[in-house]
Amino acid sequence: MQQHTSPPAATRPEDRAAARVWDVARTVKDPEIPVLDIAEIGILRDALVAEDGTAQVIITPTYSGCPAMDAIRADVEHALREAGYERVEVTLTLTPAWTTDWMTQEGRRKLEEYGIAPPTGSSAMGMRRGPKRLALAVRCPRCGSIETNELSRFGSTSCKALYRCASCREPFDYFKVH
Protein backbone atom coordinates (compact mmCIF):
# COMPACT_ATOMS: atom_id res chain seq x y z
CA MET A 1 0.00 0.00 0.00
CA GLN A 2 1.35 3.41 -0.96
CA GLN A 3 1.67 5.82 1.96
CA HIS A 4 0.51 9.39 1.37
CA THR A 5 2.40 12.14 3.09
CA SER A 6 2.26 15.86 2.76
CA PRO A 7 5.27 18.11 2.94
CA PRO A 8 5.90 19.55 6.38
CA ALA A 9 4.63 22.95 7.41
CA ALA A 10 6.77 25.71 5.95
CA THR A 11 9.34 27.36 8.15
CA ARG A 12 11.08 30.72 8.06
CA PRO A 13 14.07 30.53 5.70
CA GLU A 14 17.54 30.59 7.24
CA ASP A 15 18.96 32.90 4.56
CA ARG A 16 18.89 36.44 5.97
CA ALA A 17 17.46 38.13 2.87
CA ALA A 18 14.78 35.46 2.40
CA ALA A 19 13.94 35.58 6.11
CA ARG A 20 13.28 39.32 5.81
CA VAL A 21 10.89 38.70 2.90
CA TRP A 22 9.17 35.98 4.99
CA ASP A 23 8.86 38.32 7.97
CA VAL A 24 7.24 41.02 5.84
CA ALA A 25 4.90 38.53 4.12
CA ARG A 26 3.78 37.05 7.41
CA THR A 27 2.47 40.44 8.54
CA VAL A 28 -0.43 39.82 6.13
CA LYS A 29 -3.57 38.58 7.85
CA ASP A 30 -6.08 36.13 6.42
CA PRO A 31 -8.99 38.39 5.37
CA GLU A 32 -11.54 35.75 6.42
CA ILE A 33 -9.90 35.05 9.79
CA PRO A 34 -8.10 38.29 10.68
CA VAL A 35 -6.56 36.95 13.89
CA LEU A 36 -4.30 34.66 11.83
CA ASP A 37 -1.38 35.68 9.68
CA ILE A 38 -0.70 33.72 6.52
CA ALA A 39 2.16 31.78 8.12
CA GLU A 40 0.03 30.67 11.09
CA ILE A 41 -2.68 29.29 8.81
CA GLY A 42 -0.05 27.61 6.59
CA ILE A 43 -0.75 29.56 3.40
CA LEU A 44 2.78 31.06 3.31
CA ARG A 45 4.95 28.33 1.81
CA ASP A 46 8.24 30.00 0.91
CA ALA A 47 10.05 33.30 0.53
CA LEU A 48 13.28 34.14 -1.25
CA VAL A 49 15.15 36.89 -3.02
CA ALA A 50 16.11 36.28 -6.66
CA GLU A 51 19.51 37.29 -8.04
CA ASP A 52 17.97 40.44 -9.55
CA GLY A 53 16.61 41.47 -6.11
CA THR A 54 13.02 40.43 -6.73
CA ALA A 55 11.24 39.48 -3.50
CA GLN A 56 9.45 36.21 -4.22
CA VAL A 57 6.72 34.67 -2.10
CA ILE A 58 4.89 31.39 -2.68
CA ILE A 59 1.41 30.93 -1.24
CA THR A 60 -1.04 28.01 -1.32
CA PRO A 61 -4.80 28.50 -0.92
CA THR A 62 -6.73 26.53 1.67
CA TYR A 63 -8.75 25.22 -1.26
CA SER A 64 -8.54 25.82 -5.00
CA GLY A 65 -11.51 28.18 -5.20
CA CYS A 66 -10.66 30.28 -2.15
CA PRO A 67 -11.88 33.82 -2.89
CA ALA A 68 -9.48 35.33 -0.34
CA MET A 69 -6.37 34.53 -2.38
CA ASP A 70 -6.62 37.60 -4.62
CA ALA A 71 -6.77 39.82 -1.54
CA ILE A 72 -3.91 37.93 0.13
CA ARG A 73 -1.74 38.21 -2.99
CA ALA A 74 -2.43 41.96 -3.23
CA ASP A 75 -1.77 42.43 0.51
CA VAL A 76 1.57 40.56 0.28
CA GLU A 77 2.60 42.65 -2.74
CA HIS A 78 1.63 45.85 -0.93
CA ALA A 79 3.46 44.86 2.29
CA LEU A 80 6.65 44.05 0.37
CA ARG A 81 6.54 47.30 -1.61
CA GLU A 82 5.96 49.25 1.61
CA ALA A 83 9.02 47.47 3.04
CA GLY A 84 11.13 48.83 0.17
CA TYR A 85 11.11 46.00 -2.37
CA GLU A 86 10.77 47.45 -5.87
CA ARG A 87 10.32 44.11 -7.62
CA VAL A 88 7.81 41.70 -6.12
CA GLU A 89 6.50 38.37 -7.33
CA VAL A 90 3.79 36.43 -5.48
CA THR A 91 3.15 32.97 -6.88
CA LEU A 92 0.07 30.94 -6.09
CA THR A 93 0.60 27.19 -6.20
CA LEU A 94 -2.01 24.46 -5.87
CA THR A 95 0.45 21.60 -5.44
CA PRO A 96 0.97 20.20 -3.01
CA ALA A 97 -2.54 20.89 -1.80
CA TRP A 98 -2.85 22.82 1.47
CA THR A 99 -3.60 20.80 4.58
CA THR A 100 -4.64 21.78 8.09
CA ASP A 101 -1.48 19.96 9.18
CA TRP A 102 0.37 23.13 8.09
CA MET A 103 -1.39 25.31 10.67
CA THR A 104 0.85 26.32 13.55
CA GLN A 105 0.01 25.57 17.18
CA GLU A 106 -0.16 29.32 17.74
CA GLY A 107 -2.65 29.58 14.87
CA ARG A 108 -4.80 26.83 16.37
CA ARG A 109 -4.75 28.59 19.74
CA LYS A 110 -5.72 31.91 18.13
CA LEU A 111 -8.59 30.26 16.23
CA GLU A 112 -10.04 28.93 19.46
CA GLU A 113 -9.68 32.28 21.22
CA TYR A 114 -11.46 33.89 18.26
CA GLY A 115 -14.39 31.48 18.66
CA ILE A 116 -13.59 29.00 15.89
CA ALA A 117 -12.93 25.40 16.90
CA PRO A 118 -9.52 24.47 15.45
CA PRO A 119 -9.12 21.35 13.32
CA THR A 120 -8.74 18.15 15.29
CA GLY A 121 -6.45 15.34 14.24
CA SER A 122 -4.47 15.37 11.03
CA SER A 123 -5.40 15.07 7.39
CA ALA A 124 -5.25 11.83 5.43
CA MET A 125 -2.42 13.35 3.39
CA GLY A 126 -0.44 13.87 6.58
CA MET A 127 -0.92 10.26 7.63
CA ARG A 128 2.01 8.52 9.24
CA ARG A 129 2.49 4.83 9.95
CA GLY A 130 0.93 3.56 13.14
CA PRO A 131 -2.30 4.34 14.93
CA LYS A 132 -4.37 7.28 13.72
CA ARG A 133 -5.99 9.47 16.35
CA LEU A 134 -9.66 10.07 15.70
CA ALA A 135 -11.60 13.07 16.88
CA LEU A 136 -14.90 11.82 18.27
CA ALA A 137 -16.26 15.26 19.07
CA VAL A 138 -15.67 18.90 18.30
CA ARG A 139 -14.96 20.92 21.45
CA CYS A 140 -16.86 24.18 21.84
CA PRO A 141 -14.40 27.09 21.70
CA ARG A 142 -16.58 29.11 24.08
CA CYS A 143 -17.33 26.77 27.01
CA GLY A 144 -15.13 23.73 26.25
CA SER A 145 -18.01 21.23 26.12
CA ILE A 146 -17.82 18.25 23.77
CA GLU A 147 -21.63 18.12 23.63
CA THR A 148 -21.77 19.65 20.13
CA ASN A 149 -23.73 18.97 16.95
CA GLU A 150 -22.98 19.74 13.33
CA LEU A 151 -25.69 22.00 11.89
CA SER A 152 -24.21 22.38 8.40
CA ARG A 153 -21.18 20.88 6.67
CA PHE A 154 -20.43 24.39 5.42
CA GLY A 155 -20.04 27.38 7.72
CA SER A 156 -19.12 30.97 7.03
CA THR A 157 -16.54 29.74 4.50
CA SER A 158 -16.16 26.43 2.65
CA CYS A 159 -13.26 25.35 4.86
CA LYS A 160 -15.43 25.53 7.99
CA ALA A 161 -18.52 23.68 9.24
CA LEU A 162 -21.24 25.17 11.42
CA TYR A 163 -21.74 23.60 14.86
CA ARG A 164 -23.85 24.34 17.92
CA CYS A 165 -22.96 23.60 21.51
CA ALA A 166 -25.64 21.74 23.49
CA SER A 167 -24.25 23.12 26.76
CA CYS A 168 -23.99 26.87 26.13
CA ARG A 169 -26.35 26.76 23.10
CA GLU A 170 -23.99 28.98 21.06
CA PRO A 171 -23.29 28.34 17.38
CA PHE A 172 -19.66 28.28 16.24
CA ASP A 173 -17.52 27.51 13.23
CA TYR A 174 -15.27 24.44 13.17
CA PHE A 175 -12.24 24.59 10.87
CA LYS A 176 -12.52 21.25 9.05
CA VAL A 177 -9.52 18.93 8.75
CA HIS A 178 -8.24 19.02 5.17
Last residue of a domain, which of 100, 129, 160? 100
> Does residue 31 sit in the same domain as residue 96?
yes
Last residue of a domain, which of 64, 85, 100? 100
> Does residue 82 sit in the same domain as residue 111?
no
> Does residue 94 sit in the same domain as residue 112?
no
Last residue of a domain, which of 100, 129, 152? 100
Q: What is the DSSP letter of 81?
A: H
**C-alpha 43: how far from its chain's center?**
5
Q: How would you list the strands of the sheet with 55-59, edge to edge?
A: 44-49, 55-59, 88-92
| 2 belongs to a structural domain | no
User: Which CATH number belongs to the domain containing residue 94 in this structure?
Assistant: 3.30.300.130
> Does residue 85 sit in the same domain as residue 136?
no
> Does residue 26 sit in the same domain as residue 78?
yes
Residues present in the chain in total: 178
> Does residue 147 sit in the same domain as residue 71?
no
| 10 belongs to a structural domain | no
> Does residue 21 sit in the same domain as residue 95?
yes
Give yes or no for a contact between 63 and 158, defined as CB atoms under 8 angstroms apart: yes
Supply the pTM of this predicted model: 0.82
> Does residue 107 sit in the same domain as residue 165?
yes
> Does residue 47 sit in the same domain as residue 95?
yes
Number of domains in the chain: 2
pLDDT in tens, the chain (178 residues): 344 455 677 899 999 999 999 999 999 999 999 999 999 999 999 999 999 999 999 999 988 888 899 999 999 999 999 999 999 999 999 999 999 999 999 999 999 999 999 988 666 544 444 555 555 689 999 999 999 999 999 888 888 899 999 999 999 999 888 7
Q: Which amino acid is at 57?
A: V
> Does residue 85 sit in the same domain as residue 147?
no
- Domain containing residue 76: 16-100
